Structure 1
C-alpha cells in the first residue's frame, strides 16, 4: 500500500510540473503593452485609444501605453504593428482608413486582412459636415446655393487623399451635384485649425473628439451623416432631413494585433473590450459625442472588415481616387 501511495504521489507531482509551463505561457501581459495610434494626440481615435488603454490596464492588470505614430493616413502605425512580434504586446488602435489605404498606397507593406488578427470593433461615430464660421451660410441649403454659384471655388479640408473625410466629401459632391477644391492635411488638428480660421471653407468632422468645437460654435455644423441627430448638437439635422438620405459616413475605431498572435490573447483582449464598452466611463465619454459602442467578437469584426475592404474597392474604382 505504501509503495502504491508513493508512486501515485510521484505521478501527481509530475503532472503538476507538466502543467506549469502551459500555465506560464498563458500569462498575459508579461510586460508593458504598446497601443499604437496612427493619428495625432487629441484626435478622435486618440480619445478612444486612451479609454481603451485604461480599461485594459484595469481589467488585465498590466501596463498599456498609447503611442502616437501619425503619418501616411495611419499607414506608418499599421506597418509598425504588422511587423511587430505576434505576442500581444504591440497592438493597433485603428480607424476606418485601415480598410481603405491599400487602394491609395498600392505599395504598402501590409494587408488589412492577412497582416492582423482582429480583436474587436470598439465604437463608431458619424461624420458631421461643418463650415468655417467665416463662411456666410447658416444652413445646408444656403451652403448648396453658394457652392453652386461658385463651382470649384469653395475648399474642403481632409486628413489626406483616400481617407474617410475625403471619400465622404466625394460622395457629397456626387449626391448634391456640386464641386469643391480638395485641400489635404497631415492630421485632423490641421484641418480643424484652418477651418476655424477660414483657411478652408468646409470639412467633415468625426463627432468623437470634435464635439467641444461644434458645441462651442468654433465651427458651424450643418448636417449629420448618421441615422439620427446628435445629443450635443440637437438642432443640427441629418442629411436625410435635408434631402440627401444616401449621404452616410461614419468613422470606426477597433483593436487589432499582428497576425499570428495566439488565440487565447486575442480572446482575453476581446472580452476586456466587450466589458469596457458597457462601462459608465465609456458611455459618459463617447455617447454624448454621438458614438455607438460596439465591442463585438474577433470573428464578427473579421467578417465586417472583409466586407468593408470589398466595399471600398468598389468605391475607389468608382471615384478614381489617386494619391
Structure 2
C-alpha cells in the first residue's frame, strides 16, 4: 500500500512539474514575442518585389516604402526577385524567418496562381496578410484604327471577324479578364500571351492583336498620342487619371469589375503586433498627400487595408477566378 501511495505521489509531482514547465515556456514565448514587437524594427527591413526594377509595381513599392521607412525611422531595402509569374519571390518569402524583417509584395497574380497552378512551391497558409496597398484599374485598349469608339460598337464590330486578345502571360489577370469578356459578350477571343505589356503595344497599335486589359501606365500614353483607344475600365468607378473612360458596368458588363492590385504579406507566424504595426504604417503612407499625388499619375488607387480586409479580398478573388477558369476551361501545367 505504501509503495502504491509513493507511486501516486510521484506521478502527481511529475504531472505538476510538466504543467509548470509548460506554463513557464508559454509565458517566456509570449514575453519574447512582445519584446520582439516592442523593439521592432531594430534593423533594416527587406521587402521582396516579384518583378524587375523600374516597372510600375517596383516603382510604387519603392515610393511607398520610402515613406514607411521614414515614419518608422528605419531603412527598408527593396529586393527584386522576378520569375515564374511571381512565384520565385513568393516562394522565397515562404522560406523566410517570421521575425518581421522580411515582407513580400504580391499582385493579383498571387490569386490566379492558386487557381491555375496545382504544384506551387508554397501554400497559402505560408503567409500572413498585411495590407491591400493599391488598386490597379485595368483598361481595355484597342488600336486607334479600330472602327469603334465605345464598347457596344466594338462588340458589334468584333462579331464580324476573328478576334484575338493579348495578355502579359498565361494565367495573368489580363488573361482571365479576356476570358470573362469573351463569355459575357459572346465574342470568341483567341488568347495571345506575351512576356509583358511593352511587347504587346507595338502589335496592338498595328492591329496584329485586337485588345488587351492593361494598366493605364501601359496604354494611356499611346492613347494620348492617338495610336490606341481606351474603351472601358474594369473598375467599380471611373479612374481619376482618365475620367472620360466609362467602366465596364457603365458599358453594359456589370459582371466585369475585376482589376489588379498590389498587396503586402509576411511569412506565417510573424508576430501579430508586428503585422498590425506594418499594416498601420502602410495605410498611413498610402493616404499621405505625397504618395497619393504620385500614385494618381500612374492611374493607381490608394487603399491601405487591414490584414483581415486583405485576406477577404484574396479569398474573394480566388473564388471569382476559379469560377472563370472552370467556365473557360483554363488550365496551366506547372
With the shorter chain as reference, the TM-score category is: 0.7 to 0.9
| In structure 2, C-alpha distance between the alignment counterparts of 1:159 and 1:125, rounded to whole Å | 15
**Aligned with residue 53 of structure 1, among 62, 65, 68:** 65
Secondary structure of 2:235's partner? coil
Instruction: After superposing the two structures, state which structure 1 stretch, 205-214 or 221-230, moved more.
Output: 205-214
**Aligned with residue 224 of structure 1, among 224, 228, 233:** 233
Match for residue 123 of structure 2?
111
Residue 251 in structure 1 maps to residue 263 in structure 2: no
Match for residue 191 of structure 1?
200
Q: If the length of structure 2 is used for normalisation, what is the TM-score? A: 0.81
Return closer, same or farther for 1:218/1:88 CA change in 2, 3 Å cut-off: farther
Residue 120 in structure 1 maps to residue 123 in structure 2: no
Q: CA deviation at 1:211?
A: 4.3
**Contact residue 47 and residue 209 of structure 1 kept, 8 A:** no
**Aligned with residue 154 of structure 2, among 138, 143, 164:** 143
Match for residue 234 of structure 1?
243
Unpaired runs of at least 5, structure 2: 1-30
Secondary structure of 1:141's partner? helix
Q: CA deviation at 1:21?
A: 11
Unpaired runs of at least 5, structure 1: 1-18
- CA offsets per residue over residues 116-157 of structure 1, 9 Å max, x none? 111111121321100133545433234223321113xx3221
Secondary structure of 1:189's partner? helix
Residue 307 in structure 1 maps to residue 319 in structure 2: no
Return closer, same or farther for 1:82/1:205 CA change in 2, 3 Å cut-off: same
Return closer, same or farther for 1:299/1:227 CA change in 2, 3 Å cut-off: closer
Secondary structure of 2:315's partner? helix
| In structure 1, C-alpha distance between the alignment counterparts of 2:106 and 2:324, rounded to whole Å | 20
Secondary structure of 1:226's partner? coil
**Aligned with residue 93 of structure 2, among 48, 67, 81:** 81
RMSD of aligned residue pairs (Cα, Å): 2.6
**Contact residue 131 and residue 202 of structure 1 kept, 8 A:** yes
Match for residue 109 of structure 2?
97
Return closer, same or farther for 1:144/1:54 CA change in 2, 3 Å cut-off: same
Match for residue 178 of structure 1?
187
| In structure 2, C-alpha distance between the alignment counterparts of 1:42 and 1:179, rounded to whole Å | 35
| In structure 1, C-alpha distance between the alignment counterparts of 2:49 and 2:102, rounded to whole Å | 11
Match for residue 8 of structure 1?
none
Q: CA deviation at 1:223?
A: 1.0
Secondary structure of 1:149's partner? coil
Q: CA deviation at 1:209?
A: 6.2
Secondary structure of 1:109's partner? coil
Q: CA deviation at 1:159?
A: 1.7
**Contact residue 211 and residue 289 of structure 1 kept, 8 A:** no
Match for residue 44 of structure 2?
32
**Contact residue 32 and residue 62 of structure 1 kept, 8 A:** yes
| In structure 1, C-alpha distance between the alignment counterparts of 2:115 and 2:179, rounded to whole Å | 15
Match for residue 306 of structure 2?
297
Q: Bigger radius of gyration, 1 or 2?
A: 2
**Contact residue 147 and residue 179 of structure 1 kept, 8 A:** no
Match for residue 202 of structure 1?
211
* Matched residue count: 302
| In structure 1, C-alpha distance between the alignment counterparts of 2:129 and 2:88, rounded to whole Å | 18
Secondary structure of 1:244's partner? coil
**Aligned with residue 284 of structure 1, among 282, 289, 293:** 293
| In structure 2, C-alpha distance between the alignment counterparts of 1:21 and 1:126, rounded to whole Å | 39
Return closer, same or farther for 1:61/1:100 CA change in 2, 3 Å cut-off: same
Match for residue 155 of structure 1?
164
Return closer, same or farther for 1:191/1:260 CA change in 2, 3 Å cut-off: farther
